[in-house]
C-alpha cells in the first residue's frame, strides 16, 4: 500500500497543506478537463451529509425540490443587464448538438436565475400561486482560470434555492430566513463560527439588490464566503415578466430571492478544523464518526478480538453512530491510526487481546493529539460513552474555531493597525467609505469588506480610512 | 384556479392521455431548449423516493457514491470503437469556454464509461484496490430528436453505477446482482412486474459484451426497458488501460460493469398503473400516501373539523405515513377529490362535521373507483388502518399489473399469431434467428426482442420465424 509521507505543516505552507490533505485524504482529485473536479467517495459522503442537514432545514421552511435543465438559451442570460455582465466572461457554450451547428448557442448554467425567471413567469398567475419556494441540488459551470479543489472549480456542486413572493417584505424576510438557516447549519452541524452579514455593493451577486453572506475565518486567518442569500427585488421579475394578479385583481411584479451553498463549504471545513496531521471532521457531518482498529498478533488473538470488534460495532450502529471497522490485514495498527487521523475521523477505538480480557477499549479523540486525548473505557455502555464523546468533540471544535477567530479579529482605528490586522486575520472597523475607497483599500492591502455584520453594536464612530463619521461596522479580511 | 378538464380516456388515445397526465398532475413540463425537461416538485418528490429506495439497496451491496465531471474530452469517446459509434450522433459539444474557442472540443457526458475508465486507470494498481464499486446520481445529455417527457428527453436524470473487478466471474456476478436489485426495486417498491432478461446482440449497450434488462408492459401493451446492467468485459479496461497487479505480481486487465436506471422509470409508473382519472402512485413511492380533505360549511363546523384533521394528521405522521392536508379555501371538496385522484394519491380521508361527531372518517382508495373503494372507519387506530390499507393497495396494484401483463402475453408458434400478439402485447416464442432475421421482424411488425428471460423453461422448440430448432425463449414486443 501507499507510503505515509508527512504532510507539509500548516504553518509552513497553508496552501501546500490544503492541497495535500484534499488528495491524500481521498476527498477529491482533478478531472481530465482542466479545472474540473472528481469528488471521491469519502468527499462525496461528506457532501451527502451536508446535503441531508441542509435539505431537512429547507423543507422545514416549506421549500420543495425540483429539477431544472442545465441548458439555458444564450438569449435568456442577456435579459438582466447586471446578470449577463457578471456571468458572460465565465460561460461554457454548447454550439453543436446531434452533429449540427445550433441556430442559437446554448449556455451550460452558471446559475439558474434566468431559467427560473422563465418558468416562474409561466407558473405564477395569481397571488394564490405565491409564495413559490423551490430548491435544486445540481452542478453549475463557471469557466474559472485559477482553480483549487472545492474552493474554485470549473464545475461545482451546490444547491440553489429560488423563491417568489407577493411583497417586498416577504421577500426580505425569506432572504434573511435562508441566511439564518445557513448560519444555524454552519455553527451547529459544521462547528464553524460564521459571521452573518450584508455584502457591500461591490461584492453583491450580479443582479441582486442585496446579498447576505456567512463569512468564516480559515486556519490561515483568511476569509471564506461560505453561503449567500440574495434579495433580487423585482429585477428578475421585470426581466422575465413574472407578474401576478393581486387580491384586488391588479397586476403586480413578484419579488424574488435566490440562495446557495456549494462544495466550497467542504473547503471551509478542511481549513477551519484541520491540523498538521490532516483533516478533523465535525462529528455531525463526518462520514465515519468512529473507526475501530482491531489489534492482534496471532490467530487465537484474532478470533477473540474480531468477535469483540463485531459486537462493539453492532452496539455503536444501534446507538446511531456511523462506524468504520478497519480490518485490512496487510497494514500495521500504527499505519491505520495515521491514516484515519489524516482522514479526520473524530474518534478511534483500539481493541487488543488485553482489552478483550479487561472488557475495555482505548478511546482516542482526533482533536486532542497523543496520550492526552486517549482514555481506557469500559465496553459496558460504550454506545453512550462514544455518543457523549462525539458531542464533546463537536463543541470543542466550535469553541476552538471561535477562539481562533476572535483572537485574530481586531478592532482597529487607523490604517497601520488595519494592515497588521488583515495580514493575520480580520479587521473590525467603522466604515463610511464609498466604492472607490473600498477599491483602493483592496489594491493597497488585498483586504475586502467581507460583510457588515447583522449584529451591529449601534451608535457611531469614525471611519478608519476616510475619517468620516460612520454608523456601521464592517469586517475586512483577505479572502479565498 | 384552473378548471378541471376531463382527461382523454386511455383507450381512446394512450399517447394523449400520457402527455395530459404528466402535465396536469404537475409532474413535469418542457424546458426552453427543445426536448429538455423541467421536473416539477411533485415529480421530483417521486424521483427522490425512487432515489432513496435504490440508493439504500446499492449501499447494502457495498457501493459508494461519488461525483464525476459532466465534461469529457472528445478524445475519450473515441477510445472505445463501439462506444463512440453508438454515442457520436447524440452528443452535445462545448466549443467555447470563458470567451475562447477551445483547443479540444468537450462533450457533455451522454454516459460516463470513458470518464470512469480514465479515473479507474489511475486509481487501480493492485488486486487490493478491487473490487471498486461506485455510483453517481446525475444528469446526462443525449441529443434526441423525438422527445417525450420522462421517456426520452435531451437531458435526463439517472444513476449510473460503475464497478471494476479482478475476474470475469466477479464481473458477471455483479452484473447480475444489479439486475436483481432493479427487479426487486421494480416489483416491491413500484409494483411493476418486470421481466428480467438478457438483451439480444442488436439491442446491447454500445461497448458491452452483455446487457441485462428489466422489461415492463405498459397499459397499452407496449414494452418499456426500465433499467439495464451491462457486462463490459475487458473492453473499457483495454481502451483505458485499467490494469492491476494480481497476487502473483502479474499485470492483468480489470473487468468492468455499468448499470443505470433513469427518470424514464417515472414513465413506467405512470403507464403501468394510471387510469382514465389520472395517475395511481404505488404507495411505497408516493410523495403523499394519503390526502386529508376537511369538509365544512360554516365557521363552527370549520373549527371542529380542522381540529380533528390536525389530530389525525399528527397520528398518521407518527405512524410514518406521508400526509397532505388540502385546506385550500377557495375549492370545493369535489374539485379536491378529482385533483388528488388525478395526482394519484393512493388513499383519501374525508372528514366532515358528522364524522367528527361519530368519531369516524371516510377512507377512499384510489385504485378502486366510486363507492366500492370507500369505507367509513373509526378514528381509533386510524394510523394502523391506513398503514394496512396502503399495504393492500400496493399489493393490489402489483396483482393487477401482473394479470394485465400475463393476459396480454401470448405463446405463439407462427408469424400470423405473432403479429396478432405484438399488436396488443408481448409474444413469447422460441427463437433461433440471427441479426438479419431480427431486423426483418422489426421492419415487418415494429416488434423487437425485449429480452431472453432469465427464467427459461428449459428444453427446446422450433423458432416461429426461421423454423430452426431453438433452445431459448424470447419475449417480443413493440417498445417505447
The pLDDT-based confidence of B145 (bands split at 50, 70, 90) is confident
Among chain A residues, the shortest Cα distance to B27 is held by: A66
CB contacts of B43 in chain A (<8 Å) are 66-67
Please give the sequence-ordered ranges of beta strands (E in DSSP) within B248-373, or none if there are none.
Answer: 251-253, 255-262, 290-294, 323-325, 347-351, 360-365
Average pLDDT over residues B182-193: 98
- Give pLDDT tens digits for B150-179: 999 999 999 999 999 999 999 999 999 999
How far does the CA of residue B236 sit from the closest CA of chain A (Å)? 17
Question: CB distance B96–A99 less than 8 Å?
Answer: no
Whole-angstrom Cα distance, residue A345 to residue A286? 7
> pLDDT tier at B6 (50, 70, 90 boundaries)?
confident
Chain A residues close to B119, C-beta within 8 Å: 29, 38
**Distance of alpha carbon B392 from alpha carbon A302, whole angstroms:** 49
* Contact at CB, A108 and B96, closer than 8 angstroms: no
Q: How far is B36 from chain A (nearest CA, A)?
A: 6
A66, A70, A95 ranked by CB distance to B93: nearest: A95
- Average pLDDT score over residue span B103-115: 96
Q: What is the pLDDT of residues A40-91, one digit of tens each?
A: 999 999 999 999 999 999 999 999 999 999 999 999 999 988 888 889 899 9
Could you give the CA distance from residue B87 to residue B109 in angstroms, rounded to a whole number? 10
B157 backbone dihedrals φ, ψ, rounded to 5°: -95, 145
Q: Taking CB atoms and an 8 Å cutoff, what residues of chain B touch A71?
A: 31, 33, 36, 92, 141, 154-155
Nearest CA in chain A to B142: A98
Chain A residue with Cα closest to B104? A33
Cα A4 from chain centroid (whole Å): 28
Angle, CA B381 vertex, CA B377 and CA B386 arms, to 5°: 65
What is the mean pLDDT for each group of 10 consecutive residues in chain A (480 residues)? 74 96 97 97 98 98 98 93 88 96 96 97 97 98 94 98 98 98 98 98 93 98 98 97 97 98 98 97 98 96 97 97 95 96 98 97 96 96 98 98 98 97 98 97 98 97 97 97
Are the beta carbons of A205 and A187 closer than 8 angstroms?
A: no
Angle between helices B14-24 and B264-273 (to 10 degrees): 110
Question: How far apart are alpha carbons B197 and B213 in whole angstroms?
Answer: 5
CB–CB contact B38 A330 (8 Å): no
B377 burial class (0-12, 13-18, 19+ CB within 10 angstroms)? middle
Cβ within 8 Å, pair A98-B90: yes
Q: Which of B32, B70, B95 is facing A118, going by the closest CB pair? A: B32
- What size, in residues, is chain B? 480
Grid cell listed for B479: 417498445
Residue B451 three-state SS: strand
pLDDT at A80: 86
Region of A330 please: left (phi>0), alpha (psi -120 to 50) or beta.
Answer: alpha
Q: How many CB atoms lie within 10 A of CB A48?
A: 15
- Residues of B with CB below 8 A from A94's CB? 92-95, 108
CA distance B388 to B372: 17
Yes or no: say if B67 and B136 are a contact pair by the CB < 8 Å rule.
yes
Answer whether A92 sits within 8 Å of B94, measured CB to CB: yes
- Main-chain dihedrals φ then ψ at residue B299, nearest 5 degrees: -65, -35
Q: Which residue out of B35, B74, B97, B127 would a mutagenesis test of the A interface target, given it has the greatest number of A Cβ atoms within 10 Å?
A: B97
Q: How far apart are CA A141 and CA A143, in angstroms?
A: 6
Report how far residue A273's alpha carbon sits from residue A393's, in angstroms, rounded to the nearest whole number.
11
Q: What pLDDT shows up at residue B5?
A: 73
Share of chain B above pLDDT 90, in %: 95
ipTM of the complex: 0.96
Three-state secondary structure call for residue A132: strand
Q: What residues of B are in contact with residue A98 (Cβ under 8 Å)?
A: 89-92, 143, 145
Interface contact A72-B33, CB threshold 8 A:
yes
Domains of chain A: 14-273 (3.30.930.10), 290-396 (3.40.50.800), 409-478 (3.30.110.30)
Confidence of residue B1 (pLDDT cuts 50, 70, 90): very low
Among candidate residues B454, B312, B471, B456, the one with its CA nearest the CA of residue B386? B312
The residue-averaged pLDDT of B66-81 equals 94
List the beta bridge partners of residue A426: A409
Which residues have C-beta within 8 Å of that of residue B236, sequence separation ≥ 6? B80, B83, B113, B114, B116, B117, B207, B242, B256
Closest alpha carbon within chain B to A144? B98
Closest CA to A282 of A170, A393, A436: A393
Phi, psi of B248 (to 5 degrees): -95, 10
**Do B273 and B397 meet the contact criterion of CB atoms below 8 Å apart?**
yes
pLDDT for B124: 98
Model confidence pLDDT, tens digit, residues A309-353: 999 999 999 999 999 999 998 899 999 999 999 999 999 999 999
| Full-model pTM | 0.97
User: Which residue of chain A has the CA closest to B144?
Assistant: A98
Chain B CA closest to residue A30: B69
pLDDT at residue A3, rounded to an integer: 58
Nearest CA-CA distance, residue A94 and chain B, Å:
4
What confidence tens digit (pLDDT) does each residue in B291-318 have? 999 999 999 999 999 999 999 999 999 9
List, for residues A404-447, the tens digit of each pLDDT value.
999 999 999 999 999 999 999 999 999 999 999 999 999 999 99
Would you list the DSSP string of A463-474? -TTT--EE--EE
Which among A37, A76, A134 is the nearest to B69, CB-wise?
A37
Instruction: Check pLDDT > 50 for residue B133.
Output: yes
Residue in chain A nearest B287 by alpha carbon: A64
Distances (CA, A) of B416 to B431, B437, B441, B447, B470: 15, 16, 12, 13, 19
What does DSSP assign to residue A131? -
Amino acid at each position: 500500500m501507499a507510503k505515509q509521507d508527512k504532510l507539509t505543516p500548516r504553518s509552513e505552507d497553508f496552501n501546500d497543506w490544503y492541497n495535500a490533505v484534499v488528495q491524500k485524504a481521498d476527498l477529491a482529485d482533478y478531472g481530465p478537463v482542466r479545472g474540473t473536479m472528481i469528488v471521491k467517495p469519502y468527499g462525496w459522503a461528506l457532501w451527502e451529509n451536508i446535503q441531508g442537514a441542509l435539505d431537512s432545514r429547507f423543507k422545514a421552511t416549506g421549500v420543495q425540490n425540483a429539477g431544472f435543465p442545465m441548458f439555458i438559451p444564450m438569449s435568456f442570460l442577456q435579459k438582466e443587464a447586471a446578470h449577463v455582465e457578471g456571468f458572460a466572461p465565465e460561460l461554457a457554450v454548447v454550439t453543436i448538438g446531434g452533429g449540427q451547428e445550433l441556430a442559437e448557442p446554448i449556455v451550460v448554467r452558471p446559475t439558474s436565475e434566468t431559467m427560473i425567471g422563465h418558468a416562474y413567469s409561466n407558473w405564477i398567475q395569481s397571488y394564490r400561486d405565491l409564495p413559490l419556494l423551490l430548491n435544486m441540488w445540481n452542478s453549475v459551470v463557471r469557466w474559472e482560470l485559477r482553480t483549487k479543489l472545492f474552493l474554485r472549480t470549473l464545475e461545482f456542486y451546490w444547491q440553489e434555492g429560488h423563491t417568489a413572493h407577493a411583497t417586498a417584505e416577504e421577500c426580505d424576510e425569506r432572504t434573511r430566513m435562508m441566511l439564518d438557516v445557513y448560519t444555524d447549519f454552519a455553527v451547529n452541524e459544521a462547528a464553524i463560527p460564521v459571521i452573518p452579514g450584508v455584502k457591500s455593493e461591490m461584492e453583491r451577486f450580479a443582479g441582486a439588490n442585496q446579498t447576505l453572506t456567512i463569512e468564516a475565518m480559515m486556519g490561515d486567518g483568511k476569509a471564506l464566503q461560505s453561503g449567500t442569500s440574495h434579495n433580487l427585488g423585482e429585477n428578475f421579475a421585470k426581466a422575465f415578466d413574472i407578474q401576478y394578479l393581486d387580491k384586488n385583481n391588479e397586476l403586480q411584479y413578484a419579488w424574488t430571492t435566490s440562495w446557495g451553498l456549494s462544495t466550497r463549504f467542504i473547503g471551509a471545513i478542511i481549513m477551519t478544523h484541520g491540523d498538521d496531521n490532516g483533516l478533523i471532521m465535525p462529528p455531525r457531518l463526518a462520514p465515519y464518526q468512529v473507526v475501530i482498529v482491531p489489534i492482534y498478533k496471532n490467530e487465537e488473538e484474532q478470533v477473540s478480538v474480531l468477535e469483540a470488534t463485531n459486537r462493539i460495532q453492532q452496539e455503536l450502529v444501534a446507538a446511531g453512530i456511523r462506524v468504520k471497522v478497519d480490518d485490512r490485514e496487510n497494514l500495521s495498527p500504527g499505519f491505520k491510526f495515521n491514516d484515519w487521523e489524516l482522514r479526520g475521523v473524530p474518534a478511534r477505538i483500539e481493541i487488543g487481546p488485553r482489552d478483550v480480557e479487561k472488557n475495555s477499549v482505548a478511546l482516542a479523540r482526533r482533536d486532542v493529539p497523543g496520550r492526552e486525548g486517549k482514555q481506557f473505557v469500559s465496553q459496558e455502555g460504550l454506545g453512550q460513552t462514544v455518543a457523549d464523546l462525539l458531542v464533546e468533540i463537536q463543541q470543542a471544535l466550535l469553541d476552538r474555531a471561535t477562539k481562533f477567530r476572535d483572537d485574530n479579529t481586531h478592532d482597529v482605528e487607523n490604517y497601520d493597525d488595519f494592515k497588521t490586522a488583515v495580514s493575520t486575520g480580520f479587521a473590525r472597523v467603522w466604515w463610511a467609505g464609498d466604492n472607490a475607497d473600498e477599491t483602493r483599500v483592496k489594491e493597497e492591502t488585498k483586504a475586502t469588506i467581507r460583510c457588515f455584520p447583522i449584529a451591529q453594536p449601534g451608535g457611531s464612530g469614525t471611519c478608519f480610512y476616510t475619517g468620516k463619521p460612520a454608523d456601521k461596522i464592517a469586517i475586512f479580511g483577505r479572502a479565498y
